[in-house]
């Protein structure tokens, strides 16, 4: 074996961040951080506590890191759990992967045996004792267990075994080389790499009791639909956090978040990917407003199991009815740009194939050829009552109406939308989310017949996608992924619209503790180095 803190050179040239499509969740409930901000501030001053208040645009559903996928869930989970590996704070880049619970790791020359050397003395929250290799083994096998049913199981499909070699050594053996396997072990995202505590999980109880991690913050309480309160882990292995408490409040209304930030009731907030909003909020001298990668992907999924979307001519008509330039103009060119493939241009494997032509007359012609000369009525589609989604879904309905396609549409709460999305109850679905930075990971998730995010049920590139997952040669890998993208676009199962930057806003008394270049979450993560003055 060769000692390394990275990977065999053959394995690392081109593989990066895994982050499959993550839909948002929301709720009708609005929660204010304080009914009386003055009284709260006075209490903090007298107690000497440093409290960071963060607004959340949506309500989380499942806080178990092996099941969570939405940004609201991941915002809460991120500072609670560690993985064997992590992205260096402020980045979301394969080149910046570093040890987390693992101090170092070895990879065999054939790429099959991975040996991780754990930090000694890492303590679980709430007196659960020291983390050992047995904890890591149990946690990873939990994700892999089909009876558990974790949606993250596919991240470990190449794993043959996980062994606790000794107290502080974990050995993972693969069935065959998998160049992007390292990404499955990174905490901070939806890869399933977070290490959880067996005793706490099996004991059950409330989230604050069973969600025991090793991270810089401990979940003190969670009130569904309202708030999550985290307190510092004084025994954190990287040092005591500078902040005493992190309070996250669900505030779906944009105006309410702005007022709360201006008053100082909220210190940190997810921003809007809108040029006018960015310019307006940047004028506030009390705020720092920044854009960062990774790009947010806006695309339309056409469910080919629902008639008449099983007819390619109908799918073509829908695609040619969309004009992404309209959306770019409304959001601002510095914020948004059209997509030219199903992968964004920052993803390894992206090919600049070109966007679908906006041509309403061609749409009408295609409908006539499909047997709908007078237009057609699609089955009902659903969308979430998330602010970013609502206007774009309205735009889609109107664009289709102009070419003779009526699409009954209903805006619903997000749990209902998620159920419909995964239950094939929605014909045309807009999603907004992050992509994996390596194309083979994203293509499997969204376009393989076994992919967790394959809402179109496309399956014609399964064999090529499987080849791309295993291909170690960079040139061959790029050729495979180009071919896959061409096939997907030729079949018109997904209509790529645009990609937008991520926007974060915080009051100037907040010090992130790192330089924000990119994040695998929708918001800037919170670490032990984060401070509030």
The most distant pair of C-alpha atoms in the chain lies apart, rounded to whole Å, by: 74
- pLDDT at res. 28: 39
528 dihedral zone (left: phi>0; alpha: psi -120 to 50; beta):
alpha
> DSSP string covering 419-460, please?
HHHHTT--SEEEEEEE--SBHHHHHHHHHSTT-TT-SS---T
In tens, the pLDDT along 67-122 reads 887 778 889 999 999 999 999 999 988 788 999 999 999 999 998 999 999 999 99
**Of residues 245, 215, 241, the one with CA closest to residue 230:** 245
- pLDDT at res. 350: 93
What stretches in the chain show pLDDT beneath 70? 1-47, 188-191
The ranges assigned to domains in the chain are: 2-26+49-249+509-532, 293-501
Structure tokens at 265: 């009731």
d(Cα 239, Cα 122) in Å, to the nearest integer? 11
Q: What are phi and psi of 397, to 5 degrees?
A: -60, -45
Is there a common fold for 2-26+49-249+509-532 and 293-501?
Answer: no
In tens, the pLDDT along 471-488 reads 888 899 999 999 999 999
Asked if 231 and 80 count as a contact pair (C-beta separation under 8 A), the reply is no
Q: Cβ–Cβ contacts within 10 Å for residue 365, how many?
A: 17
- pLDDT at res. 424: 87
Q: What are phi and psi of 222, to 5 degrees?
A: -140, 125
Q: State how far Cα 162 lies from the chain centre.
A: 26
Binning the chain into helix, strand and coil, the percentages to the nearest 5 are 30, 25, 45
Provide the CATH topology of domain 2-26+49-249+509-532.
D-Maltodextrin-Binding Protein; domain 2 (3.40.190)
- pLDDT at res. 376: 97
- pLDDT at res. 2: 34
- pLDDT at res. 42: 44
- pLDDT at res. 126: 97
- pLDDT at res. 433: 84
In tens, the pLDDT along 260-295 reads 999 999 999 988 888 999 999 999 999 999 998 778
- pLDDT at res. 13: 29
- pLDDT at res. 1: 36
- pLDDT at res. 32: 54
Strand ranges of the sheet holding 102-107, from the earlier edge strand across to the other edge: 2-4, 102-107, 113-118, 169-174, 159-166
Q: Does domain 293-501 have CATH number 3.40.50.10860?
A: no
Q: State how far Cα 108 lies from the chain centre.
A: 31
């Amino acid at each position: 074996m060769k000692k390394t803190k990275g990977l065999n050179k053959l394995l690392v040239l081109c593989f990066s961040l895994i982050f499959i499509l993550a839909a948002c969740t929301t709720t009708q409930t609005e929660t204010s951080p304080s009914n009386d901000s003055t009284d709260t501030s006075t209490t903090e001053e007298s107690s000497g506590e440093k409290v960071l208040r963060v607004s959340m645009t949506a309500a989380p559903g499942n806080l178990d890191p092996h099941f969570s996928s939405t940004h609201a869930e991941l915002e809460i989970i991120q500072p609670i759990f560690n993985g064997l590996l992590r992205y260096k704070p402020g980045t979301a880049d394969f080149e910046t992967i570093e040890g987390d619970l693992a101090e170092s790791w070895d990879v065999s020359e054939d790429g099959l045996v991975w040996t991780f050397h754990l930090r000694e003395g890492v303590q679980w929250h709430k007196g659960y004792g020291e983390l050992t290799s047995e904890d890591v083994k149990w946690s990873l096998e939990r994700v892999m267990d089909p009876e558990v049913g974790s949606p993250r199981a596919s991240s470990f499909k190449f794993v043959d075994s996980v062994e606790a070699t000794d107290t502080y050594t974990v050995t993972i053996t693969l069935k065959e080389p998998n160049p992007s396997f390292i990404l499955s072990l990174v905490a901070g995202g939806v890869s399933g790499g977070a290490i959880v505590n067996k005793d706490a999980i099996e004991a059950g109880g409330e989230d604050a009791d069973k969600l025991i991690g090793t991270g810089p913050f401990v979940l003190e309480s969670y009130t569904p639909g309202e708030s999550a309160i985290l307190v510092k882990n004084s025994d954190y292995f990287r040092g005591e956090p500078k902040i005493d408490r992190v309070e996250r409040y669900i505030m779906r209304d944009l105006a309410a978040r702005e007022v709360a930030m201006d008053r100082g009731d909220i210190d940190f907030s997810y921003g809007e990917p809108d040029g006018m909003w960015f310019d307006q909020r940047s004028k506030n001298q009390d705020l720092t407003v920044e854009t960062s990668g990774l790009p947010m992907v806006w695309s339309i999924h056409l469910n080919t199991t629902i008639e008449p979307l099983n007819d390619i001519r109908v799918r073509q008509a829908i695609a040619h009815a969309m004009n992404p330039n309209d959306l770019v103009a409304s959001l601002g060119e510095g914020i948004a740009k059209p997509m030219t493939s199903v992968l964004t241009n920052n993803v390894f494997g992206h090919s600049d194939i070109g966007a679908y032509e906006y041509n309403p007359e061609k749409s009408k012609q295609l409908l006539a050829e499909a047997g709908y000369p007078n237009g057609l009525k699609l089955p009902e589609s659903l969308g979430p009552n998330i602010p970013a989604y609502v206007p774009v879904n309205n735009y889609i309905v109107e664009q289709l109406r102009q070419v003779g396609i009526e699409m009954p549409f209903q805006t619903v709460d997000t749990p209902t939308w998620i159920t419909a999305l995964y239950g094939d109850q929605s014909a045309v679905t807009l999603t907004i989310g992050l992509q994996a930075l390596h194309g083979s990971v994203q293509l499997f998730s969204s376009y393989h017949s076994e992919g967790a995010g394959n809402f179109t049920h496309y399956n014609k590139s399964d064999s090529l996608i499987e080849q791309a997952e295993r291909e170690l040669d960079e040139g061959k890998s790029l050729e495979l992924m180009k071919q896959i993208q061409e096939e997907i676009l030729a079949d018109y199962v997904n209509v790529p619209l645009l990609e937008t930057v991520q926007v974060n806003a915080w009051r100037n008394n907040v010090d992130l503790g790192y330089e924000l270049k990119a994040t695998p979450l929708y918001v800037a993560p919170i670490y032990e180095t984060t401070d509030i003055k």
